[in-house]
Structures are given as structure tokens and as C-alpha cells.
Amino acid sequence: MNIERFLADFGNSTSNFLVDSYYFEIPTCVAEITKEEAEGYFTNAVEEVDDLLDRLLISTVVNNEEKYFMVGKLAEENPYANSHVGKMHDKIKSPIPYAVFLAAVTYYYKVKNVNGENKAEIEIDNEYMMLPIWLLKKESKFSVAQNKMAQRFAGEHTVTLLTKGMETELLIKVNNTKCLIESEVARWALKYKLVNDDQNQTTRIAKRSESKIFEDAETVFVDIGGGSTDAVLLAKGLGTPVSKESFKVINIEPFLGRLDKLFKEKLIEYFSDLRSLENFIVGNYSNQKYIYKNDNTGEKTDLSQPVIDMLKQYADLLIFKVTEAFNTDGKRKKFVYFGGEAPILSPYIKEAVKNATNEDILERNHFFLNELLDDETEIFKPAARTVNLAALEILSLNEKNKK
């Protein structure tokens, strides 16, 4: 099997993938278990590939030793599955992105080859990924960290899918790898979009009309992730950052870490773990009412106050930190907020900006990705959590066209 373009965004909350234009996501939960636990884990076989995403159990060789991992939803309730939250997660060294990568390739193979061989080779022509700014800043040059991450995924890999009923052995060969900069790369998805031609025969890259509003001022992209918040100052017209100082790591507690505190200190009687609380918030943030329902008794409890208090406090501190980091020369700057946590925090960010400035400044200078893009004709419309991935798609297709 050949994969032309494998695009990955290894997020701390969710890992998103676009594989030859096929999109899927896997919760970033990885738990290492023993061989004995792996062999006896499943009692029933998985019969449908659609169910596999929730039951990913794999093994691979790491430093000449066989390792066994539960990945994604299957690992959510394991007490060791969220060891990377609450602190800065080094994706270059951590086994988590690597295990998720192997699981993602395996899942894609099974989806596209429902009745395929249980032993196969996968050749990936090009794999694109990203690193957050804080990891890049640890090195003397950004390219040093980028090369380390890219080389980690280059070459050959072996993985065995152990999920009962879906057992498969794969040899994965990755020919070319490239690591880009999270947050900064998103500018390509705000400057351009992917559309079909009039006959829907080919995909082309078109200029995005919405980008015009950024031609008259420098723009700060604020990428609010579960593990870190990065910000980058772009030149006018969403141009290239001027220097290394244009990249900032916002000094704020990771969002998932703050959520974990809320879980342990106030909501532990309602939720089994951090991920169940996170899913509860994701399922309810659109109406800003957080009503918990006990599925066994039907009893409802209004948890809005502690959740909203936490979100407001986090947004207030975030806006203070972001504006402090870039309010150095008095020039007008525009801000665009995206990232997996941006939709959850957006009403409280708006309130914080308005309280710190005024309504006019909020409307003219502060933008949220989900409110900014209104073209329904594009092929892969960026969302707050997928804008970096959409940018990789544009860049990868552009390179393909050049070749």
C-alpha cells in the first residue's frame, strides 16, 4: 500500500491526521501495558472496522524490546494514559506521538483495506508534522529541533495490531519527513484555501478573500492548545515572522493541567477522570450551561458555576499574558485565536479583552477562526483545532504540484 501524503498534528488532547485527504482523529491517550495484559485484554473480536478506532491495541519494538500500548479511547480510563498533561510535553522524546503514529497508520490501512492481508508493507512518500514553539526555542536554531523530530519518523517501523479480530502486522517505510512550526504554519490556511475547479476534476489552491483584513497591520496568531499556548507575530499581510523574537511561548499553566486541578479539587465526585470531564465540557460549551446527568439515576446537577469560573479565570490570565508579550512598541496589532481550546474559551476571551480595552478594540483587532472564515466552497475548511493541519495540506499539495 502506498500513501502519498501523511499529515499529522500530535496534539496533547487530540491527535489529528489527514492521510491522502482522509481525515480522522485519535484521543492523545497512550498507556503502556505488559505482554500478559495485552494477550488477555479482549474477550470478544472486533468485527467492524468502524469500531477499531475505539479499540486500538498495538505492539512495536523499542530499543530491541517489544512494547505494548493501548492508544486512544481504549486507553482513556487507564491511570497512566494522561501522564503528559499538566506539564510541557516533549514530543521529540516522548513515546506518545510515536505510538499514536503507529496506531494511526494501522487504522488507516484497515479502513482502506477492509478485506486486506493481515501482513503488509506501507510506503509513505511524504510525512509532515509540527512542533510547538517552546520546544523549538530550546535549541540554538529551530531547525535543530525540527530535524530531530523529522528524523524520528523517517525510515522503517514495525507495528502489530493486537486488537482481537483485526490482528495485522505492518512494515512501514517513510521516505521523506518534514517538521514545520505550529502556529506559524497556520498563516497559510488563512491566506489560501483548497477548492475544486469548475468541473470538479482537480483541486487547486486559491487566494482567500478574508485575508485582506490583515493587510494593514501586524497580526498575532494565538494557538491555544491543551499542553501549551504559543503565539507568533506575523508581518503585515500575514507575512513571514521577522525574527526568532517574533515567536513567544505564553507563560501560563497548560489548559489540561488547569482542568485536571478542577477535576481533583471540585468535580471528582462526578467524573471518573480528566478525560471524562474534558468530554463533558466539549459537549456543552456551545450553550455555556454545564448540566451533569447521572446516567444511572437520571439525577441532574448544575456544574456551570465552577466550570465557568475556571474558564473565566484562565481567559483573563491568558489575555493579560498575550497582550503583555506583544505590547512592546505601541503599534496596532490584530489577534487571531485558534487551537483546540479556543472555542471553549472564546466567550470569556472576548469578555476579558472588552474589560481590558473596549468593545471597539475587540471588534476591530481580535478575531476567532470559527467566526472569521465563511466560505463553504472549500474542500477542507479549517476549524480552530484543524487549522494547522489544513495549512500542512496546502503546503504539501503545493510541493506536489511543483514536482
Alpha-carbon distance 157 to 400, whole Å?
Answer: 24
Q: Which of 377, 43, 50 is nearest to 210 (CA)?
A: 377
Task: Classify 125 as helix, strand or coil.
Answer: strand
The DSSP code for 140 is S
* pTM of the full structure: 0.90
pLDDT tens for the chain, 403 residues long, are 999 999 999 988 899 999 999 999 999 999 999 999 999 889 889 988 989 999 999 999 988 899 999 999 998 877 666 665 555 578 999 899 999 999 999 999 999 987 778 899 999 999 999 999 999 999 999 999 999 999 999 999 999 999 999 999 999 999 999 999 999 999 999 999 988 876 666 788 889 988 999 999 999 999 998 888 999 999 999 999 999 889 999 999 999 999 999 999 999 999 988 889 999 999 999 999 999 998 888 899 999 999 999 999 999 999 999 999 988 777 889 999 999 999 999 999 999 999 999 999 999 999 999 888 876 678 888 999 999 999 999 999 988 877 7
Per the CB < 8 A criterion, the answer to whether 233 and 220 are in contact is yes
Contacts of 317-322 with C-beta under 8 Å, sequence gap 24+, read: 317/252, 318/224, 318/229, 318/250, 318/252, 318/345, 318/349, 318/352, 319/349, 319/352, 319/353, 319/356, 320/352, 320/356, 321/250, 321/251, 321/252, 322/220, 322/222, 322/229, 322/231, 322/250
Q: DSSP states of 222-241 as a string?
A: EEE-SS-EEEEEEBTTTB--
Q: Any idea which residue has 506521538 for its cell?
A: 97
C-alpha grid cell, residue 66: 517489544
One-letter amino acid of 235: A
